[in-house]
Structure 1
């Protein structure tokens, strides 16, 4: 009987191990089936799209397929940025709320990065201030005094993700770049809400900075429960 019990226990353990492996493989398969990076150079003319950003090697495309409103522009001659995607932008002189519609997979975590470089594109030399929303929920307020990037990890609740720029005063909302990165759901865990980027530390024994793969992110739960 002892031998029989040991054999039964061993088979049970093997079965659990196989089930765990299958579950892990299923999760990996779901992740790998997702579309890879989405990197939009907002306001880029379609005849200049796509292109490979020379400093990072990332492929950027025009945002024209993801939004119908707004107008394209380029930063002023005195404001040329090293990263190409910040030299064009889309601004929104009409309406209060203008939204991007991005196709995503429901239930998957995404890193969303929105970049803003005013560059005095309109010659007014007035730094815009406006809000960004994820769907109906406030993400953050942008004050574009400098080139800035806002990042958040957000779980998609439907197959369409809306990123909206909302006018809150007299200045005109704009956006330079919008990037989406699918993540494994075990990368950052949160029971509710989204994870807002707080700060980043980069440790390396040389002065060279690598893009994305070398970044170390620190996030905290967003109390707005986006």
Structure 2
């Protein structure tokens, strides 16, 4: 009887933790489902992460929208099923409102998924303001990639840009910003690019 009671108490505590994660305070979060039409279920709650995603339509004035072919990548979470791609222009930028001198975790994900039916793996550059952040190379990362950086803007606006470097077309799946405490990951200067992340948990699922 006592062991059953303990088990039930553990279950209730676990459900409470899950609920608190899904109902987390998302003040200051920016979670963009890139390529999602503004009038198509925006914003919505991603049931896997508990995050509220919205269309990127009001954050950028260029680009076109597409949907990936599920047969090429398998089942994906909803935010990764659409893309915004940029067939026109060399440099296309998202303009985001931020707090100056506030540290942010910035995450961008890229899934090609043969959205255009051409089966040509794109290669392009990703810029954070005027600085090169990363080169996105689908010839190496065939199933897509994710880039993360910890960055402190020096003004109240931040541009994240995709730069065409060859014949292929830049694209993006999601763009996320999370305000962080300035006392974490302290550096003397510059930003911190993600090198590696490990999940240490016995729950069987990743924690965000």
State the distance in 1 between where 2:188 and 2:118 align.
44
Which residue matches 1:122? 116
4+ residue runs over 3 A deviation: none
Of 24, 27, 45 in structure 1, the residue corresponding to residue 37 of structure 2 is: 45
Structure 1, unpaired ranges of 5+: 1-33, 213-226
Which residue matches 1:175? 172
C-alpha deviation, 1:204, in angstroms:
1.5
Which residue matches 1:94? 88
In the comparison of the two structures, how many residue pairs are matched? 178
So what's the TM-score if we normalise by structure 1? 0.76
State the distance in 2 between where 1:35 and 1:193 align.
25
Which residue matches 1:155? 152
C-alpha deviation, 1:96, in angstroms:
0.3
Which residue matches 2:57? 64
State the distance in 1 between where 2:160 and 2:53 align.
18
Q: How does 1:68-83 map to 2 (within 5 A)?
A: 68-78=61-71, 79-83=73-77
- Give the stretch that moved more between structures: 91-100 or 51-60: 51-60
Cα RMSD (Å): 1.3
Q: How does 1:1-40 map to 2 (within 5 A)?
A: 35-40=27-32
State the distance in 2 between where 1:160 and 1:208 align.
35
* C-alpha contact (below 8 Å) 1:112/1:153 kept by paired residues: yes
Structure 2, unpaired ranges of 5+: 1-25
Which residue matches 2:97? 103
C-alpha deviation, 1:77, in angstroms:
3.7
For residues 108-130 of structure 1, the C-alpha deviation after alignment (integer angstroms, 9 at most, x for no partner) is: 11100000010000111111110
C-alpha deviation, 1:157, in angstroms:
1.0
C-alpha deviation, 1:35, in angstroms:
4.4
State the distance in 1 between where 2:200 and 2:48 align.
20
State the distance in 2 between where 1:181 and 1:94 align.
30
Q: Match of 2:114, SS?
A: coil
For residues 59-80 of structure 1, the C-alpha deviation after alignment (integer angstroms, 9 at most, x for no partner) is: 1000011000000100014135
C-alpha deviation, 1:191, in angstroms:
1.3
CA radius of gyration, larger in:
1
State the distance in 2 between where 1:35 and 1:74 align.
29
* C-alpha contact (below 8 Å) 1:80/1:87 kept by paired residues: no
State the distance in 2 between where 1:80 and 1:204 align.
26
State the distance in 2 between where 1:166 and 1:192 align.
25
